Amino acid sequence: MNRSTEFFLFILAAILAGCSSNPRQSSNNQFEKSIKIGAYFYDGWSSHNRHANDPNQPWAKNAPRMVTRLLAEDFSEREPVWGWRGDSQEIVEKQIDLAADHGLDYFLFCWYWRDTNGPINVTEIENAPHHVSMNYYLKARNKNRLRFGLLVANHNGAEIKGADNWENAARYWMQYFKDSQYVTVDGKPLVVIFNPSGIDEESISRMQNVAKQNGFKGLSIASCGTPEKQNNGFTHRTHYNIVPGYRAGSEEHSYSELVEAHQKKWYGSAKTPYIPEVTVGWDKRPWEGPDGNNAPVGYYFLDRTPEQFEEFLRSAIVWMDQNPEQTTRERLITLYAWNELGEGGYLVPTKGDPEASYLKIVKKITSEYSRKTKNKK
């Protein structure tokens, strides 16, 4: 019996033990505790494709910026049921309802700095295609159904450099933090920072001071992917995704390897509280090579099923039950992802999965916990 199988048997035993006991007998029963599940939201599905005016690339004529030839032609089953484009108020409001109806509590929108390694450029930030869907969310008639937060994509041409710029970024973010729908942890606005390795304690301190100057108790700042022993003032840890073999060459691997790679991170020894991240899937082949976005060639994982995803998500909940001091009091779990269509991590209904079978798993689990919590009351 391999290590992964042993772990899943352990998880199954824990779940069965929790189900068999009387939920009113012990405050430690997992079903007496609420959970909040959110998803990362990547907006590559607006603006114009760089090949749109190339008569030799007819697939790109009406495509948004991040659709590649491989994605459009060889992986066309990933196209959402509403089409590749997501840049309209109607489609964003449809996604809010879809997410809320299936038990999601929040989106963490990818947010990008302008100009990279330079001072803040508000005009460019506000006109960036990366922020189109978030701006539609902020104007949505139904935004009260779903909370939101920021995943600061501090990489690939959007790097924030220096304490002054991190302070200015925090000042800019206040418009979001003051929104009643913004996600909080410990009563403080949550900011997740992708690629936080260049951030020092002074930068964190300045961001905290900005929040306090604006009437908050401070910020909950999660390092997204920082090595466990490097804290630098971060209050929490998490990941965007965890992918073995990202640059190791094109090889098909098992979804169970993704699962095990995540669970090793959950059971790490770091003292900083951790927000578990659960990856729905990973296959970035549509973005690799010259017919993609020249992403590095790496492993892909094809054998996932909704049942495996359900077991994976439940194992994250069990981990929180068993380690309440190592996670958030709000019991947050973030899924990778709502719409990472090019990388194979998505919950949205697509032409290949119009019933959104993975999103239905989220509804199944959140409905179960909602009923149990209500019964306790």
pLDDT digits (tens, 9 = 90+) for 239-266: 999 999 999 999 999 999 999 999 998 8
pLDDT at 225: 83
Mean pLDDT confidence for 171-182: 98
pLDDT at 228: 54
**Residue among 45, 37, 17 at smallest CA distance from 99:** 37
Phi and psi for 39 in degrees, rounded to 5?
-150, 145
Confidence of residue 27 (pLDDT cuts 50, 70, 90): very low
Helical axes 3-20 vs 306-322, angle rounded to 10°: 70
Distances (CA, A) of 149 to 40, 42, 343: 9, 12, 22
Q: State yes or no: pLDDT of 222 exceeds 90.
A: yes
Mean pLDDT confidence for 297-303: 96
Residue 52 host element (H or E): none
Q: State yes or no: pLDDT of 26 exceeds 80.
A: no
pLDDT at 16: 43
pLDDT at 266: 86
d(CA 15, CA 10): 9
What global pTM score does this model have?
0.91
Confidence of residue 229 (pLDDT cuts 50, 70, 90): low
Kindly state the tokens that stand for 13: 């035993």
d(CA 307, CA 361): 8
d(CA 47, CA 55): 19
- Buried/exposed 125-159: b ≥16 CB within 10 Å, e otherwise: beebbbbbbbbbbbebeebebbbbbbbbbbeeebb
For the segment 120-146, what is each residue's pLDDT rounded down to a tens digit?
999 999 999 999 999 999 999 999 999
Structural contact between residues 318 and 275, judged by C-beta atoms closer than 8 angstroms: no
Q: State yes or no: pLDDT of 76 exceeds 80.
A: yes
pLDDT at 375: 58
**CATH number, domain 34-376, options 3.30.365.10, 3.40.50.1220, 3.40.640.10, 3.20.20.80:** 3.20.20.80
Confidence of residue 230 (pLDDT cuts 50, 70, 90): low
pLDDT at 370: 78
Confidence of residue 377 (pLDDT cuts 50, 70, 90): low
Q: What percent of the chain has pLDDT over 90?
A: 83
pLDDT at 25: 30
